[in-house]
Amino acid sequence: MELLGNLTFVFVAGFITALATGIGALPFFFFETISDRRNIVLWGLASGIMVSASLFGLIEEGLAEGSGWEIAAGMAAGVVLVIVAHEVLVDAEIDPQEYEEADFKKLVLILGILTVHSFPEGVAVGVSFADLGLEGGTQILGATVPVLAIFMTVAISIHNIPEGTAISIPLKSMGVENWKLVWWAVFSSLPQPIGAVIAFGFVRVAREFLPFGFGFAAGAMIYLVVSEFIPEALDLGNNVPRGGKPELVGGIVFGILLMLPLRYV
């Protein structure tokens, strides 16, 4: 019964990160468009948050639980999984514009493809809750929650906001209603609570794999930053003076500074 309660708690945390993606669509209730410059800053912010949360949170916590070799092996596995998944789905890349035009079967396929992009973030949330209910955490709704889990949930939530904006831009150009923009943004991150529950259940049952789990989540997220977030920002920079690099660097630095307190908690 306790395990079921913990799984529910972790699922809610993962679902909160998914809901945060919808925040990225909220500006369209007030503005018709979002400038490329602001988009670049948001991608930089997401990149800085992901890298710093991985380094100061997941990797440091993993080193406290196991050896550097275990962390390195986990990181390598996370990178390989993302690469292999992308290779398998290379011909199945989707555009958010397809959301509105898809039937139920197509939406299931789309959700499967989105899992490649958002599942690692869910894993990061799940493993960060490994000590849920144990001593040394913070009391939230009657549960003892690890401080790392709080920071990771907040970090992933902030990171999801620019993703929600990126998803909403092409849909807005199609004339999709604003409330639907929010729904589709949240839809894109639905694999996160599922990934969180699976990862939490795994490391809770097989505790000896916890360092590997921390490394896996960190490796996958850092690779996503390098292979997707930064290239996405640089593509947007084609229409911005100096390629948008000052905006990207500024966003990255701000994201790192935002998460820096994690290292001292």
Written as one string, the DSSP assignment of 202-240 is: HHHHSGGGHHHHHHHHHHHHHHHIIIIIHHHHHHHGGGS
- Show the CA angle centred on residue 234, arms to residues 83 and 224, nearest 5°: 25
pLDDT digits (tens, 9 = 90+) for 85-109: 777 665 555 666 666 665 656 666 6
pTM: 0.81
Q: 88-92: long-range contacts at Cβ-Cβ below 8 A with a sequence spacing of 24 or more? A: 89/113, 89/116
pLDDT digits (tens, 9 = 90+) for 36-64: 788 888 888 888 888 888 888 888 888 88
Give the separation between CA 148 and CA 263, rounded to whole angstroms.
Answer: 10
Q: Which residues of 180-201 are buried (b: 16+ CB within 10 A; e: fewer)?
A: bbbebbbbbbbbbbbbbbbbbe
Give the separation between CA 10 and CA 132, rounded to whole angstroms.
Answer: 9
Q: What is the DSSP letter of 55?
A: I
pLDDT digits (tens, 9 = 90+) for 180-206: 889 888 988 888 999 899 999 888 877
